[in-house]
Amino acid sequence: MRRLVIVSNRVGDPDCAVSGGLAVCIFDGLRERGGMWFGWNGESVASEDEIGASCRRCDNVILVTMPLTEGDYQEFYLGFCNGALWPVHHYRLDLARFTQENSEAYRRVNERFAATLAPLLKPDDLVWVHDYHLIPLGADLRARGVRNRLGFFLHIPFPPPDVLVAMPEHEWLMNALARYDVIGFQTKTDQANFCRFACEHMGGEMARDDVLRVAGNSVLAAVFPAGINVDSFAAMATSPEAERRIQWLHRRGEARVNIIGVDRLDYTKGLPDRLRSFKRLLELYPQNCKAATLMQIAPPTREEVKAYADIRHELEALSGEINGQFGDFDWTPVRYVHRNVPRDTLAALFRGSQIGLVTPLRDGMNLVAKEYIAAQDETNPGVLVLSRFAGAAEDLDEALIVNPYDADDVAHAMQRAIEMPREERVARHAALLGRIRQHDAGNWMGGFLRALDAPARPLAA
């Protein structure tokens, strides 16, 4: 079995990788094959002279990490990755900021990663690069003579060509992306957007449904939906500790309908729209007053980026407004928690809630939707209300699929969930559980690695 080298912006920590998360799945794969995980250690130093790679062994996995400079952190991480690429890939050109310094930092950090990584590679290694921070890394490795199989997985959406071309660096970036042997996407829509761009703007052509011939390369561009480890998440939701928490949640007696949302506080997750939908639920179906509570857990993220500070203020104002207008001394309609909650507590909250409300405006996959399903009691499950713009919606047909921009549509779906007979809930949940098992974390990783490990396929002339 060939050694596996994972490259990602942040390297997972084997001591605190969370059960059921993708990092655990990647560790398991690395342990099985033996391998290396390479990336940023999360720290920043004053100047480039202070950058040095450090190595740590964990079983038969070597973790190689290096710091960024403070300038890189500002320009590469906050500036280009999260101030330009993240909004563009989530169709939010209005929030994207492009500067020469930031794009230079992006090139610089990727080149530095490649310069450090290339000498550590063995000729037979499979190299799997993750996510938008490292799109040009493959091309940088090729420029250093690396001939290994190189794969890339994009965790976030791939925008339609008309959106992408607004980004000043798009030609360079896409030519770099096309240097990988395998490119993995979350959904068919993302894969189709990339292939359309390659064919319409780069002179590429499809040799097969998922094989693209572009810029002299043959690239496998395929769909590998990310998933969770269903059994380990379900086990967390059914532990005695989880059971105690659920009893507590129900005993409080304040709400007969618990609705749960869990998202990093990111503008892509549609949180203000979600709160407006909950408000519409109370207006359109006033019988839910004093009966329904929305618990929104939204841990802080990327707070140095202005758009994130703005969304926080908007959310705080909205939850205050709804609680002021509808709340009473014995009922708080919105419970907003702006901090990181332990994962086993989340599992219990999911299981104790009758509705899982997952309404991003745009999302690569959205693993919260899958965690909510995994956590349910199969004999009396809750209902998933899911945005059509989450990658997860591509195959979770039995959820109540909604348009998150349409508050009334989401409110009607919540009411339908509240009234849904148990028999229908059980049938929908059984189908959803089957699907998240089919696309679990192990299959995601196994599928990608099989594609990467396969010999390059000859193309018809």
Active-site residue flag, 429: no
Q: Which residues bind ligand GDG (CB under 6 A)?
A: 21-22, 155-156, 226, 262, 264, 297, 299, 340-343, 346, 363-368, 371
Cβ atoms of residues 391 and 366 within 8 Å: yes
- CA angle, corner 288, sides to 283 and 289, nearest 5? 75
Q: For the CB of residue 160, give the shortest distance to ligand GDG in the complex, in Å.
A: 17
Active-site residue flag, 439: no
Tokens 């998202």, located at residue? 263
In order of 75, 79, 80, the CA distances from 176 in angstroms are 20, 20, 16
| Cα torsion angle, 268, 275, 307, 48, sign | negative
Q: For the CB of residue 111, give the shortest distance to ligand GDG in the complex, in Å.
A: 25
Q: For the CB of residue 16, give the shortest distance to ligand GDG in the complex, in Å.
A: 10
Catalytic residue chosen out of the listed positions 130, 155, 412, 429: 155
Name which of 37 and 326 has its Cβ closer to ligand GDG.
37
Name which of 262 and 418 has its Cβ closer to ligand GDG.
262
Q: Are strands 61-69 and 54-58 parallel, antiparallel or unpaired?
A: antiparallel
Q: Are strands 61-69 and 35-45 parallel, antiparallel or unpaired?
A: parallel
Kindly write down the DSSP assignment for every residue of 101-145, as one continuous string. Answer: HHHHHHHHHHHHHHHHHGGG--TT-EEEEESGGGTTHHHHHHHTT
Q: For the CB of residue 365, give the shortest distance to ligand GDG in the complex, in Å.
A: 3
Cβ atoms of residues 2 and 453 within 8 Å: yes
Name which of 287 and 340 has its Cβ closer to ligand GDG.
340
Name which of 182 and 297 has its Cβ closer to ligand GDG.
297
Buried b (16+ CB within 10 A) or exposed e, 13-27: bbeebbebbbbbbbb
Kindly write down the DSSP assignment for every residue of 165-201, as one continuous string. Answer: TTSTTHHHHHHHHTTSSEEEESSHHHHHHHHHHHHHH
Neighbours of 29 (CB within 10 A): 20
Q: Are strands 4-10 and 126-130 parallel, antiparallel or unpaired?
A: parallel
Catalytic residue chosen out of the listed positions 125, 140, 181, 363: 363
Q: For the CB of residue 38, give the shortest distance to ligand GDG in the complex, in Å.
A: 19
Name which of 92 and 343 has its Cβ closer to ligand GDG.
343
Q: For the CB of residue 17, give the shortest distance to ligand GDG in the complex, in Å.
A: 12
Name which of 373 and 418 has its Cβ closer to ligand GDG.
373
- CA angle, corner 63, sides to 62 and 68, nearest 5? 150
Which residues are known catalytic residues? 155, 363
